[in-house]
A and B are shown apart, each in its own frame.
Chain A
Amino acid sequence: MGFFIETLIGGLMAGMLYSLVALGFVLIFKSSGVFNFAQGAMVLFAALAMARFSEWANHALGGDSLLLANLIAFVGAGLVMLLVAWVVERFVLRKLVNQEGATLLMVTLGITYVLEGIGQTVFGSEIYNIDVGMPKDPVLMFESVFEGGILINKEDFIAALIAALLVGLLSLFFQKTPVGRALRAVADDHQAALSIGIPLNRIWVIVWLVAGIVALVAGIIWGSKLGVQFSLATVALRALPVVILGGLTSVPGAIVGGLIIGVGEKLSEVYIGPMVGGGIEIWFAYVLALVFLLFRPQGLFGEKIIDRV
């Protein structure tokens, strides 16, 4: 029983981390209809920028204050993501208004390559560290209740808290601020939004910036967990079933989807995996998402797809 709960908690925490990446997908799809495959590359890019800036800042400051160096790096990486957002909007999105979904998807794959190339050229292709002072060692809890206790990873726990906080902030941003309202208007109908004077182009820059910041946070958390290197870009593939399950247009969907996928993945790997030789968690997540889709083709929280002939 203790082990089951431990697996469950592990799954929930992994799920929160997936949600963080999934959020980036949802934000961009909601406001511009682009299924942004480059989200993984953005996570990598942001994390690389953060890691290297922090290293350089730390060097420049003489290694006195890690916190200050990290803050500088965070702002620097944020500016880099702003630049990415601006370039993407100015040179790509603006020219592809009203194209088909498949074309937009392909464009983001192109952007993925460009970001991976530039990231590795500018920042290098080795393994880098992000040290934001996350605790690494686990704690054992409830040893008196369950045999062997429940092992909880403090790092994951903090990461999950940050993810939850970020989601809360984003919801507030979407619901309460004028920019958020404009974003939602754009999401509903580009032309209507344009006709009442919402500057579409600026809105897109903002959305990509927000997605970039989300990618940065995800990059910091994943990067401090795994080290910053090329494979960070592949976490996007792990987050895809989450978006699909939760619905492409729903922020809460990304969270709930993340939790379901995280738990499903870990439970399946630990309990079903040994029967079939293990290594099933990736496809299990996708199959899980697929099963949900068969009952709700638009995802759990997605808007209903209505066809008009």
Chain B
Amino acid sequence: MKFRSLALAAAMSTIGFGTTVASTAAQAQAKEQFFPVIVYRTGAYAANGGPWANGYVDYLKLVNAKGGINGVKISFEECETAYATDRGVECYERLKGKGATVFQPLSTGITFALTEKAPIDKIPLITAGYGRSESQDGSVFTWNFPLLGTYWVGADVAIQHVAKQLGGLDKLKGKKIALVYHDSPYGKEPIPLLQERAKLHGFELDLLPVAHPGVEQKATWLQVRKNRPDYVLLWGWGVMNSTALKEAQATGFPRDKMIGVWWAGAEPDVKDVGAGAKGYSALTLQHGAEPNSKVAKDVIALVHDKGQGTGPKDEVGQVLYMRGLISAMLGVEGVRKAQEKYGKGKVMTGEQVRWGLENMNLDQKTLDGMGFAGVMRPVQTSCLDHMGSSWVRVHSWDGANWKFASDWYQADDKLLRGMVLNASRKYAEEKKITPRTPEQCKQ
């Protein structure tokens, strides 16, 4: 009996491989632009990964419903990573073989691993709002696009926001700011910038790491109680954020003195804390919760009402949903830009998409026309600046909804530029990469 079942398993597996191989071949032949969708819908970060993935896929469906990119339809396939780096690498390899031209891994760890692989395979990476901060320097990081903002932008704006609340950058002197962070490359990314700012303005920086996945934070918040910082910056992801807010409530730390990064400012982070999170504010990667924007209504009308929606309908317009949607839009616009140069209505290659992303110029009119009025500000990339925009707003939770609580901020480019160049030159030296000269950039 054992052997029969083994034989059966073997037979099943051959059939399985056969069918997957067949379906791969079929996809490669069709004239479609293939978008890989790397997601995590299970595991410790599922509650946050889900809405992002739904927004991403819904936007691709929306583009198709509107007729594709100049007539080129989009095909896509999801691959589950459960936020694990090695699963992410496997997904990358698998989807690469199916003609992927732009990857968005939504994990700092996977981004680090793919940064090594992308230049060899000539496939650009978009890391909208995450990834390596120094990858803004496109002359070294030819294939990385941390569009809309990096963690250094976030940290910089967070300090600016604190200073504004205090009444000026000079008021920061002698103050104490604690950074409660996810103990991983993601959480450690803002530290160099905060240290730089601390030196500049004379405030004290307290670093409080929280181990993955962040369900046990009692000791961290006991330390907050002991050190009595004036502000707490929260750099968490997933359950760590809601736990931090609950512990803040339990230790009586005022929530309006807490500022989260844009990954700590969405519905799953505050929903089950409810009124306990009232007053908590977080940075936004330009957009907040935008259920009333035109693009969200388009998705409802053209995707959800046709029964094609990926997630629950009431999720459309939530913060992370919008983040996924905008990330997809950036990828699509990269392809569209590439088509302008390499031929409209054609399927672009990875190298061509890279060119498109590097020369992207989304002005306000274009954005408004696509339904992003009030959601986004212009994005313009170049060889030296793969970020394209560093606009940030702050929104805060009123107990039931996210509401904008500040005007637009922009990161201090003078400070940032120097740090980015330093770090990227160091990377180039280690990797023996010669940074591209402005002439090479033009090609």
Contact = CB atoms under 8 A, between A and B. Distances in A.
A229 B271 CA distance: 13
B79 to A, nearest CB: 17
B411 interface: no
B219 A265 contact: yes
Contacts of A227: 239, 242-243, 246, 272
A136 to B, nearest CB: 6
A125 B42 contact: yes
Nearest to B269: A127
A274 B209 CA distance: 10
A127 B226 CA distance: 31
A240 to B, nearest CB: 13
Interface string A1-31: 0010011001000100000000000000000
A279 B276 contact: no
A153 B250 contact: yes
B271 A231 contact: no
Interface stretch (B21-29, B44-52, B156-164, B291-299): B44-52
Contacts of B41: 125
A136 B249 contact: yes
Interface in A119-156: 120, 125-129, 136-138, 140, 151, 153, 155-156
Given A151-B252, A234-B215, A279-B211, A229 B226 contact: no
Interface in B248-270: 249-252, 268
B209 A278 contact: yes
Contact of A229 (B223, B239, B250): B239
Given A136-B250, A226-B243, A281 B216 contact: yes
A269 B208 CA distance: 10
Contacts of B239: 127, 226-227, 229-231
Given A127-B239, A155-B250, A269-B223, A278 B47 contact: no
Contacts of B272: 127-129, 227
B50 A125 contact: yes
A230 B268 contact: no
Contacts of B12: none
B238 interface: yes
A282 B210 CA distance: 10
Contacts of B243: 226-227
Which among B183, B209, B239, B272 has the greatest number of chain A C-beta atoms within 10 A? Answer: B272
A72 to B, nearest CB: 21
A273 interface: yes
B50 A126 contact: yes
A234 B223 contact: no
B211 A231 contact: no
Contacts of A270: 219, 222-223, 226
Interface residues of B, number: 37
Nearest to B249: A136
A305 B252 CA distance: 48
A277 B252 contact: no
B65 interface: no
Interface band, chain A: 35 or more
B42 A277 contact: no
A14 B218 contact: yes
Contacts of A137: 249-250, 252
A95 to B, nearest CB: 14
Interface in B32-54: 41-44, 46-47, 50
Contacts of A151: 225, 251-252
Contact of B268 (A3, A127, A279, A282): A127
B207 interface: yes
Given A6-B222, A127-B272, A234 B44 contact: yes
Interface in B173-231: 183, 207-211, 213-216, 218-220, 222-223, 225-226
Contacts of B50: 125-126
A270 B217 CA distance: 11
A52 interface: no
Interface in A225-275: 225-227, 229-232, 234-235, 238, 265-266, 269-270, 273-274
B213 A277 contact: no
A279 B210 contact: yes
Contacts of A225: 246
Interface in B78-93: none
Contacts of B208: 278
Contacts of A136: 246, 249-250, 276
A138 B42 CA distance: 34
Contacts of B216: 14, 235, 238, 281
A152 B218 CA distance: 12
Contact of A232 (B42, B211, B215, B271): B215
A6 B225 contact: yes
Contact of B42 (A14, A120, A238, A266): A120
A3 B215 contact: no
A16 B246 CA distance: 19
A268 B429 CA distance: 40
Contacts of A273: 219, 223
Contacts of A10: 218-219, 222
Contacts of A235: 215-216
B218 A266 contact: yes
Nearest to A137: B249
Contacts of B47: 125-127, 229-230
A138 B41 CA distance: 35
Nearest to A233: B44
B218 A277 contact: no
Given A136-B249, A279-B183, 12 more contacts: A10-B222, A126-B268, A151-B225, A227-B246, A229-B239, A230-B42, A266-B218, A269-B220, A270-B219, A278-B207, A279-B209, A282-B211
23 contacts: A3-B225, A10-B218, A10-B222, A125-B41, A126-B46, A126-B268, A127-B47, A138-B252, A153-B250, A225-B246, A226-B246, A229-B44, A230-B44, A231-B214, A231-B238, A266-B219, A270-B219, A273-B223, A277-B209, A278-B209, A278-B220, A279-B211, A281-B216
5 closest Cβ pairs, A-B complex: A269-B219, A279-B209, A125-B46, A231-B213, A227-B272
